[in-house]
A and B are shown apart, each in its own frame.
Chain A
């Protein structure tokens, strides 16, 4: 039989684990993206710079979705999909962020300027 005290809460390992995962959750460096990739049906179709003010019509599988780029951010303005999850995701701006519209087969992804072998 093991002693009960072995599992008594808050040992040094617990605190280290909590600090480690809090660090991962909050302090992972996230840079602002440089360009946005809009792909329909898993093929990279359009690459836009984030520095512009533009509205794009993307033809997906269900119909046309309106994508807006402004102030270095992207969002889907309206989409023909039933649940509107992609519209509710709102603005994205950080490198690695994405909006996915499953019924309409649209993936909007933000990437940095240069390929970084360490972080990718």
Chain B
């Protein structure tokens, strides 16, 4: 029963993060490469309620299926998406496990920043060799600070609501 429960939560989180990923990719953004990252809400919730393995599973499936729906599987943007998701999931897990004084806001900001820094690093090392990482990063760092805070606050609202009603009984 316990593992069935877990499988159900994994699939719900995966479906929710895929749909958010696809919907928010349809909105135009002022600067290429900037998204709100709403799918991170469910990866963060999965890290808290389920664990690292499940969160990585959700992240990988979000990237693969979301890119498949948007018809950009195995394109550069897919590679950026999946690598950024993996690195930021691991970082957020480490921060949660380390018991450093971070709230969901700070964890989400760190996740967003590592996500964009991984993507910038990949973009520069694969596609634009020779351009120093630090010179193009300010606008991306600032925008992921804002999107990371928005996602963190949303995640906190969902987390406290579900916690109060004892919805997630996986542990």
Q: Which of B106, B159, B164 contacts A17 (CB 8 A)?
A: B106
CB-based A-B contact count at 8 angstroms: 83
- Shortest Cβ gap from B161 to chain A (Å): 11
- Shortest Cβ gap from A85 to chain B (Å): 9
- Shortest Cβ gap from A46 to chain B (Å): 16
- A21 adjacent to B141 (CB under 8 Å): yes
- A12 adjacent to B145 (CB under 8 Å): no
- Overall SS of chain A's interface: mixed
Interface size class of A (residues with CB under 8 A): 20 to 34
- The chain B residue with its CB closest to the CB of A29 is B134
Q: Which residues of B contact A117 (CB under 8 A)?
A: none
Answer whether A24 and B141 are a contact pair too, CB < 8 Å, given A1-B171, A13-B106. Answer: yes
Q: Which residues of B contact A100 (CB under 8 A)?
A: 128
Answer whether A7 and B103 are a contact pair too, CB < 8 Å, given A18-B145, A21-B109, A24-B137. Answer: yes
- Shortest Cβ gap from A52 to chain B (Å): 23
Kindly state the separation between the CA atoms of A95 and B136 in the bound complex, as whole angstroms. Answer: 11
- A25 adjacent to B132 (CB under 8 Å): no
Kindly state the separation between the CA atoms of A6 and B105 in the bound complex, as whole angstroms. Answer: 11
User: With an 8 A cutoff between CB atoms, is B78 at the interface?
Assistant: no
Answer whether A25 and B153 are a contact pair too, CB < 8 Å, given A10-B105, A11-B106, A30-B135. Answer: no
Q: Which residues of A contact B100 (CB under 8 A)?
A: 13
Answer whether A14 and B138 are a contact pair too, CB < 8 Å, given A7-B48, A7-B159, A9-B104. Answer: no
Besides the known contacts A9-B156, A21-B113, 17 further A-B residue pairs in the complex with CB atoms under 8 A apart: A1-B171, A4-B163, A7-B103, A7-B104, A8-B103, A11-B102, A11-B103, A11-B106, A13-B103, A14-B103, A17-B110, A18-B149, A25-B141, A25-B142, A96-B135, A98-B131, A119-B134
Sorted from nearest, which 3 A-B pairs have the closest CB atoms? A96-B135, A14-B106, A13-B102
B-to-A contact residues, CB < 8 Å: 48, 100-107, 109-110, 113, 128, 130-132, 134-139, 141-142, 145, 149, 152-153, 156, 159-160, 163-164, 171
23 contacts between A and B (CB under 8 A): A4-B163, A7-B107, A9-B103, A10-B103, A11-B106, A12-B101, A13-B101, A14-B103, A14-B109, A17-B110, A17-B113, A21-B141, A24-B137, A25-B142, A25-B145, A28-B138, A96-B131, A96-B135, A97-B135, A98-B131, A119-B132, A119-B134, A120-B132
